[in-house]
Amino acid sequence: MVQQTVADVMTPAPSTIGMSETLQTAAQLMAAQDVGALVVQAGHTTIGIVTDRDIVVRGLAEGLGLEAMVGEVASEDIVTVGPGVAAETAVEMMRAAAVRRIPVLDGDTVVGIVSIGDLAVERDPASALADISEAEPND
């Protein structure tokens, strides 16, 4: 059996945002793209990730307004992976770091993002997590 790589399971060309953009801009971009995370960049350098949960828990719940900057709530100490890395290795990295998403970098260029849902769909399409990950969101 051929071992799957991160490139086989990742979502290509993830949405990105700058550290100085507002939480409102981030939330609007997430809604428009139907995603729960954005890769945070300074120029073309990946420096973090911001999730919908970060906006709510680290931002709004802590009293920051929608005009606060992404950099105030983004996770900057992130794990990244290359597209040629084995998918199983990405699972182990997520488990070790206790994260649900990992930006995929080819050198310094962000080329994708791999989530626990992406990996569940590929590893066990019949699993409950795969079913949830594949389902259309409720509008």
Q: Please report whether residue 100 resides in a domain.
A: yes
The reported pLDDT for the residue numbered 131 is 41
The predicted structure's pLDDT at residue 117: 85
pLDDT value of residue 81:
96
Supply the pLDDT for residue 1. Answer: 57
Q: Has residue 139 been placed in a domain?
A: no
The predicted structure's pLDDT at residue 17: 97
- Within-domain flag for 101: yes
Rounded mean pLDDT of 19-39? Answer: 96
In a domain, 1, yes or no: no
Which pTM was predicted? 0.83
Adjacent-strand bridge partners of 110? 105
Q: What is the pLDDT of residue 133?
A: 40
Residue 44: what pLDDT?
85
Give the residue numbers spanning the domain of 64. Answer: 6-134
How many independent structural domains does the chain possess?
1
Residues 50-66 pLDDT 10s: 999 999 999 999 999 99
Instruction: Please write the tens of the pLDDT for every residue from 93-132.
Output: 999 999 999 999 999 999 999 998 888 766 554 444 434 3
CA distances from 136 to 21, 75, 101, 133 (A): 28, 27, 19, 8
Whether the pLDDT of residue 136 is over 80: the answer is: no
Q: Which two tokens stand for residue 8?
A: 């086989």
Q: What is the pLDDT of residue 118?
A: 84
For residue 83, tell me if it sits in a domain.
yes
Residue 35 counted as domain residue: yes
Tokens of 16: 């990105």
| pLDDT (average), residues 6-22 | 95
- Report if residue 106 sits inside a domain: yes
Residue 38's CATH number: 3.10.580.10
> Within a 10 A sphere around the Cβ of 127, how many other Cβ atoms?
12
